[in-house]
Amino acid sequence: MCGIVGIVGTRPVAPLIVDALKRLEYRGYDSAGVATVEQGVLDRRRAEGKLVNLQERLDSSPLSGTIGIGHTRWATHGAPIEVNAHPHFSSGVAVVHNGIIENFRELRKNLEADGFEFSSQTDTEVVAHLVEKGLRDGLSPEDAAHQAIQQLRGAFALAVMFDSDDNLIVAARSGPPLAIGHGEGEMYLGSDAVALAPFTNRITYLEDGDWAIIRRNDLAIFDTSGQTVSRQQQTSVGSALMVDKGNHRHFMIKEIYEQPEVIGHTLANYVDFNAEKIALRDMGDTQNPLEFSKLDRLNITACGTAYLAGYLSKYWFERYARLPVDIDVASEFRYREVPLSENGLSLFISQSGETADTLAGLKYCEESGQRLAAIVNVRESTIARSSHNVFPTLAGPEIGVASTKAFTCQLSVLASLAIGAGVQRGHIDEAQEKELVRALAETPRYANEVLKLEDEIKELAHSLANKEHVLYLGRDTNYPLAMEGALKLKELSYIHAEAYAAGELKHGPIALVDEEMPIVVIAPHDRIFEKTVSNMQEVAARGGNIILITDPKGAAEVGMDEAKVIVMPEMPEIITPIVYSLPIQMLAYHTAVHMGTDVDQPRNLAKSVTVE
């Protein structure tokens, strides 16, 4: 959500900033802009829509300053039009901002009373005027920026630049992430290390509440009170990332095809395949190891697809480890004043590790004295750094906004944890552990087999295109998987889709079923297959257009005339949710492609939701 790039350099920086912003497109945005200082003059170019529009502006009217800040905006306050695009100016001050200034109305009212005029509807412009007010009062640029930052409430990341000093950017973080890159005679600022990868792999991450003074050959970091603090410089994996679609049409389908490999990498981090045992590595706190046998409750909190991964894992933890699980959407959990178990573990799941509501839930649990664990795809993220135990997914960068490989890697970690918990709690014996580990080891192979069904799934997707409504049904672990399928279809194709536990069909949703209603049923031939099929037959009797995802036994039992069938390989039950994720992803993807929507950057969505 929004992207920030800044460079204090020795060469014209506008082209470099635009290239870096392109690496942040995955975060979602609806306008973009860049500003530089040249010979004591601030200048900027802004444009609605995609970065190509900004590039056209710069091609026709270049900026040649050696210091600059850039931004991709995801609208929160004010329409996504040029006047609201960043950077925002105020008499010698330029600001870019990610987040929400919650007290901007109060600040704006006071500034207007002091004679400041506003040209946008954004909350960001108050920051520029607050800094200018500090300059008017005789403060240095650094102190003016700090004074302004101290007046802000909300979640924000900021970069401030001045026409009076072409060797200074002031940055601040209160919530959304900011990374500072170290170069040779140049310094860089970005929303994450991916943006800075072409320039440097030496990164310093600002902690929550930090603000920084950045110059070509110097970096000083301060806490909220203005005291100097030290933050570790580290080598970031972001520098090695090549954000490239390769031979694929979209990032999303590329990332779908990467799943066999990244699932294998992730499982290898938690499973000793040679010994056929769970080996919970990368757990963090070695002085105080996590012991599932001592837990009496597990609380899982997440948002969106990560929430659905957590929801699905509830079945695993309760079945294999007999560990009671509470699962919450983070935006609800943070306000629910949940009573937490003294011997509980709070687990937070986030692809980016920066999800605002999830982070707020973590802070609540931290204040309550809970042990904290995290499943994240970014080891350097705030949620990871704030947790006692970290279980990284090894998905690599996920550029498509609709999560695919991050989801299946989260499930891979959760399955490993559930089995490990079952072993520690005495509910899985050695023989069962070996059997389950052998099943996990087969996951990449089965996933690769499913990719061969793409042409068949593509044909079925055409029957969903341009429908107004679609239902998804499943039981047990296939219920949250059905929810994920419905979410994917909504995100990508903008078709209204809902998921129900198949047993709930007759309690209301069956009233929606007619000949025009597609129903996607997820039903491997397992211990509850017959129950799910009986619900599917109720749909068929009312003319529903059924797409059934099952295995050879299921297809043979149902009969090919009753449904359009995606026949999956027969596989162990523990891994079916991971592998069955692929056809629901491809079904949504090809429906959206057929309808011509923006698959990688669906409207109104952002990859990393770093504000509430």
Measure the CA–CA gap between 168 and 156, rounded to whole angstroms: 20
Secondary structure of residue 121 in the 3-state scheme: coil
Whether residue 330 contacts residue 320, with contact meaning beta carbons closer than 8 Å, is answered with no
Residues marked active site are found at 2, 607
Handedness of CA 263, 266, 272, 277 (dihedral sign): negative
Measured CA to CA in angstroms, residue 156 lies from 2, 126, 356, 383 at distances of 11, 13, 11, 16
What one-character-per-residue DSSP string does 473-491 give?
A: EE-TTHHHHHHHHHHHHHH
Amino acid at 74: W
Whether residue 455 contacts residue 296, with contact meaning beta carbons closer than 8 Å, is answered with no
| Two structure tokens written together for 466 | 């341009």
| Two structure tokens written together for 454 | 């793409």
What one-character-per-residue DSSP string does 229-249 give?
A: E---EEE-GGGG-----TTSS
| Two structure tokens written together for 83 | 């006047």
The bridge status of strand 218-222 relative to strand 211-215 is: antiparallel
Q: Is the peptide bond before 87 cis (omega within 30 degrees of 0)?
A: yes
408-427 exposure pattern, b = at least 16 Cβ within 10 A, e = fewer? bbbbbbbbbbbbbbbbbbee
- Rounded to a whole number of angstroms, the CA Rg of the chain reads 25
Measure the CA–CA gap between 201 and 205, rounded to whole angstroms: 12
Residue with tokens 């192979």: 445
> Which residue, among 37, 5, 14, has the nearest Cα to 188 in the 3D structure?
5
What one-character-per-residue DSSP string does 373-419 give?
A: EEEES-TTSHHHHT-SEEEE-------SSS-SHHHHHHHHHHHHHHH
348 bridge partner residues: 301, 374
136-158 exposure pattern, b = at least 16 Cβ within 10 A, e = fewer? eeebebbbbbbbbbebbeebbbb
Measure the CA–CA gap between 493 and 427, rounded to whole angstroms: 43
Measure the CA–CA gap between 185 and 217, rounded to whole angstroms: 5
